[in-house]
Every structure is written in structure tokens, then in C-alpha cells.
Amino acid sequence: MASTGAAAGVRDGGELHVMMFPFLAFGHISPFAQLARKIVAVGDVRVTFLSAAANVPRIKAILGGSPAATVAVLRLPHVPGLPEGAHSTAEVDADGAELLKIALDATRPQVETLLASLRPDVILFDFATPWVADAARPLGVKAAHFSVFSAVCEAYLTVPAHRLVGDFASAPEGFPPSSPLATGVPAYQSADFAYMYATFHGMPCVYDRVEAGNAASDALVFKTCAEMEGPYIEYITAQHGGKPVLVTGPIVPEPPQVTGDDDRWSTWLSTFPDNSVVYAAFGSETYLSSAAATELLLGLESTKLPFLTVLNFPKGTDAEAELNKCMPPGFDERVKGRGAVHTGWVQQQRILQHRSVGCFVNHAGLSSVVEGLVAGCRLVLLPMKTDQFLNAALFARELRVGTEIARRSVDGWFSREDVRDAVAAAVAGDGGEESRWREFFMDDAVQKTFVRDFVDGLRKLKG
């Protein structure tokens, strides 16, 4: 599978200075920082990264210590209802995440000052701060909206044509007819997508923020490539009147560093044969209800395979108490020696790359799917919200990567048998498409070409 990216252009004209300003969620911060690390490695590129103080250590770790990437700290103003010192969605509940948008809006004077003093060539901003483009324009700074979501999500949920549809059950006009989503989505997914139009604390809804940012920006940027999402990229370009659409490639993460926690899980995993363990995890901010988590655990138990499950819970809850609610009666004794359930952070990449892990049950988050494929795992997809539903359709039904767990169309319910059957199907498959995409993601020359082409696109945007 060869890259269809444009040939490398002329890379002169001096240093390119890129400012990056992601939303205060690590599902957004991490892709921005991973991209920053990759573009500074091209050479003659400097990055200034904007975020709140508490996020800086993790950002610097992702940036990898390059002197060409620095972090400028923003002071978050006090917002009533937002806990003091909360600097990311990892520290707040769902309402707190909405209040963080208010806090970010209030940093506009600081961002304007940094833009005026540093004069970057381009600023990449996130969905929550469409005003960045207006702040950059008088200074001659180009602004590009960088979406950390797949192109299919933009194409289905936030293109201008969707305002004409009225709801999310149907695809917008002109949507790629070859897509498995062309005929619409089940009722439970459409109901979930209604969040895009929901307003909180008198603020613009997500759809309006995205639309405003797209309209005001000089270019749109997506964490994807034509090989994965060509028809959706073309549709988005047409929807925005031919505005430049740049792609970064899938941004394959760097190999993780070894930590002390690795020893615990590495030792446990090493007791099992190669490719025999099912690893189930759903990211740090995707939560299963107690009933759904119980069905998941019973389904994994019924596979008769060894498994490691990581379940996390919303901020402010007693994680251990919530975990106990999910545990079926007698479960611990029945799976003793072959099943483990954990709550809290783990080094996911290292677990996935362990020789004994062969199957990855996940929420279809874009980064998780890429990590699973790079690690050589068979994928089982259990999406729980918004972008995850669309990612699952893209990978399982269009790219033939992974197996979706069957769901009830009305409410999205799944049973233990559905979990068991999906794992069995994934493990029994030949893994041909997973292997093909793994080779593509692991092709260093291809991935570096994506990044170089992206930097060339930014230089062209700069003018």
C-alpha cells in the first residue's frame, strides 16, 4: 500500500513557526503534541504549544525533549462551578468539561498577546476556540482548524449540509454513497449525536463552534490520510468550497517508555501463551454503565480465554466501589488465574505489544485503533459515544478491520453472548486486513512522507 501524498516540495524559506492550541482534554492534547513532535523532526520547524500549567509535564513527555518545541502556559481564570486548579477534562465531570470551554474562551487576551509577540506563521487550533482565527488574521498569522477526529466524523456530523437534514438519523446531502453510513445510523446513535446541538451555560453548541472555526480558518487539518478516508476528505473539501484540506497521516505514536507499572502487568501477561490474551480497555474518559460492564465481563469469561480488563469511572466517583458494582457474583473465583480486572491508568501501548496479547476489545477511539493495529492485535470494537460509532463503521465495515460487537438498534444494548461471539470471530479470522494496515502504519518512509507533505502544506499556506 503506497502513499498517495504529493511529492515532497521545495523546503526552503527559513524556519516555520507553528503555534498549537488544543482543547483541555488529553484526547485532544496528545494528538496535537504527537504531531508537534513529528513536524519538528522534519527540520526547520519550531512549535509553541499552548496549554494550562498542570498539563505541561505530560505534554513535555510526549514532545520528547526537542528544543524546537516549547510550551507557553495559559492562566485559566476562575469560572464559577469549575474546581480550582482543574486544567483538563480528566479532573472534572461532564459539566466541568463544558465549563472548561468558558475558561478557554476567557484566555483570548493571553492568546492574542502571544500571537502578537511571537508572530508564528501558522496556528493550529481546536474545535472549542473558533475565535483564534479572528485573533490571528489581523496579525497576518494563518489559522488552521485541526480536528483530532476522523474525517468520517466531520463528514457525517459537522459539514454545513447537516443543518439542512434536521437530525442525525440520516446522512447529509451529498455524503459519499459508497459509505456504510450513507443510509444513516441506528436510533441509539442518532440520539447520542444530538449532543452536537446541545447548549450548556449559554455557550454555543459543539456544532456551532466547529462550523465557526471551519468557516473562519484558512485551512482544515485532519489526522488521517487519503488511503483511509479519501471519499470523506473529498466531500469535506467540496462542502467548504475548496478550502485547503491538509492531512497529517494517522500520527502513529512513538514507542512508550518503560515504567515501574509495566513490571506488574508484564509479569502477569508472561504466564500465558503468545497471542492468547484478550485485552479490553476503553480509554481514560469513556465509561460503561455498571450493567454494560457486567455483560462485558461475563462475555469475556465465556470466551474461555485469559483476559485483562481496564474499566474507568467518571471523576468524583469512588472507582473501587463502582468496580465492585460491575463484578458478577462469584466472578473472581471463576476466573481466578486467567482473568484480571483493573481500574486506573495503565501503559496501554506496552500491554498491547506484549507477546501474549492477541485481541484488543476497545471503544473505537481513533488512537486506540491505530495502537491496536500497530501492535498486531485482532480488534473487537465496542463504541460508546459520538465519534466512536462512526470510527467503528469506518474500520469494521469499510476498511474490514476489526469486528463490531452486535447491538440492539433501539438502545444499543449488547449481551454477554454478543461479546463472546465477536471475540470468537475476531480470533478465528485470518487477520489479513489488520496485517495490511499494520504494514502501512509501520512503514516509516510512508509515515515520514505524510509529515513532510503536511509541513509543505503549512509552508504553502504561510505563503
Question: pLDDT-based confidence at 259, cuts 50/70/90?
Answer: low
Question: pLDDT-based confidence at 57, cuts 50/70/90?
Answer: very high
Angle between helices 56-63 and 26-40 (to 10 degrees): 40
Residue that the C-alpha cell 474562551 belongs to: 105
Helix (H) or strand (E) holding 124: strand 122-125
Q: What is the average pLDDT across 205-234?
A: 97
Q: What is the average pLDDT across 22-28?
A: 96
Whether residue 116 contacts residue 109, with contact meaning beta carbons closer than 8 Å, is answered with no
Output 200 or 7, whichever has higher pLDDT.
200
Q: What is the average pLDDT across 282-308?
A: 96
User: What domains sit in the chain, N to C, each tagged with a CATH number?
Assistant: 16-251+443-462 (3.40.50.2000), 260-429 (3.40.50.2000)
Q: What is the average pLDDT across 142-158?
A: 97
pLDDT at residue number 165: 66
Burial classification of residue 166, based on how many CB atoms lie within 10 Å of its CB (0-12 exposed, 13-18 middle, 19 or more buried): exposed
Give the amino acid at 350.
R
Tell me which residue of 283, 300, 270 sits closest to 348, measured CA to CA.
283
Tell me which residue of 92, 45, 97, 94 sits closest to 66, measured CA to CA.
45
CA distances from 433 to 8, 258, 398 (A): 28, 30, 11
Active site residues: 28, 126
pLDDT at residue number 429: 87
* Per-residue DSSP letter, 53: G
Q: pTM for the complete prediction?
A: 0.93
User: CA–CA separation, 69 vs 31, rounded Å?
Assistant: 14
Q: What is the average pLDDT across 423-441?
A: 93
Give the amino acid at 279.
Y
Question: pLDDT-based confidence at 205, cuts 50/70/90?
Answer: very high
User: CA–CA separation, 13 vs 350, rounded Å?
Assistant: 40
What percent of the chain clears pLDDT 70, i.e. is strictly above it? 95
pLDDT tens-place string over residues 349-399: 999 999 999 999 999 999 999 999 999 999 999 999 999 999 999 999 999
Residue 168, pLDDT > 80, answer: yes
Residue 125, pLDDT > 80, answer: yes
